[in-house]
Structure 1
Amino acid sequence: MSDVILFNKPYGVLSQFRHDDNNNFATLADYFNDKSLRVAGRLDATSEGLLLLTSDGRVNRAITHPPKVNNGNKQGKTYLVQVEGIANDDQLSELAQGVLLKDGLTLPAMVRYLEDNELPMPLWPRNPPIRERKSVPTSWLMLTIFEGKNRQVRRMTAHVGLPCLRLIRWSVAGFELGQLEVGAFVRVHLNAARLRQLGLAR
């Protein structure tokens, strides 16, 4: 039986079980005591949202190194991105086409501007709050990427002049955060359809 845990990772929690003497961040050991669990796709300590954990090595590999399923299309990772400034059409187009970072050109992405009332779930207050400047508005984007360069989303939005203030992962590998409260988790049994989606048909 294959299961995946969906965890709404809070800000300031490392995607690892081992404590790091170099900072005061919490770790997954503060939330889970099952030593067989492994993280399937890391999330920075300063990022929030969906983190997947599983004790099934095949499932972990399928999520972190997805095979070419669904006619060769990779499964994306979707983020809610609060940025400084209001995105214009040129900036959105540049993000969608791919931007040139120091480690290469990013793959084309899917991006759209979100009004506050278009966010897919009610958001929790972040602790600490984002920095705010009275003279500079903020806005939200929904951005789906199909690769995993280091701190990619933050670097992409900064590259087009939209510094990232808050980053929440909404979905990965077909799993969504849904209405899961911050710091909470749910265990999902992988049925045959979900296994096929991951390229693990039985």
Structure 2
Amino acid sequence: MFSVEFLITSLIVVLVPGSGVIYTVSTALLQGRRAGVLASLGGTIGIVPHLLATIFGLAAVMHTSALAFEALRYAGVAYLFYLAWATWRDKAAFAVDQAAAQRTGRQIVAKGILLNILNPKLTIFFLAFLPQFVDPAARSPLAQLVALSAVFMLMTFVVFVVYAALAHAFRRAVIESATVQGWLRRSFAAAFAGLGAQLALQDR
């Protein structure tokens, strides 16, 4: 069920610096490793509503029409190419939120949850992403969706914690390096494009 393509794509998706990563990094920079782990937990919990909406929405589509599911899958391929283009063009740097230094553990988790819950792009992303790795002819596509979502959440939490540890260890020297960020973004963009092409040509 957990193909190499799914694991690699999920890792790339989680590694790409977004609002959750930026929040985790800035919190770890100002309040240390524990605060960074709490921010990681909040960011991971915040994707649950988007995953649930995706799971039940896709389950309904698969039950209704195999053609509609395939159309959604190819729309997802197009979205991966869009992500490659957007990631390549993104020049935004990590921002340090000075207010994070005064937040309690509960506040840190709550803000991480809200950041992702209030990001409508996540639902769109999961609707484009998960169909690539589900077999509509399987006995229980819904079980596949749940399992894939669980793995994605676990990977999200682990990667966010790693980001927090690196931010705390290296502080601003590496995290705020424009050169390092530029190199990472170009690598991620190329990976998105390559995986999108592979998924589009893959024989299902």
Q: Which has the higher contact order (CA 8 A, sep 6+)?
A: 2
Q: Which has the higher strand share?
A: 1
For this structure pair, what is the TM-score category when the shorter chain's length is used for normalisation?
under 0.3
Richer in helix (by share) = 2
TM-score of the pair, normalised by structure 2: 0.23
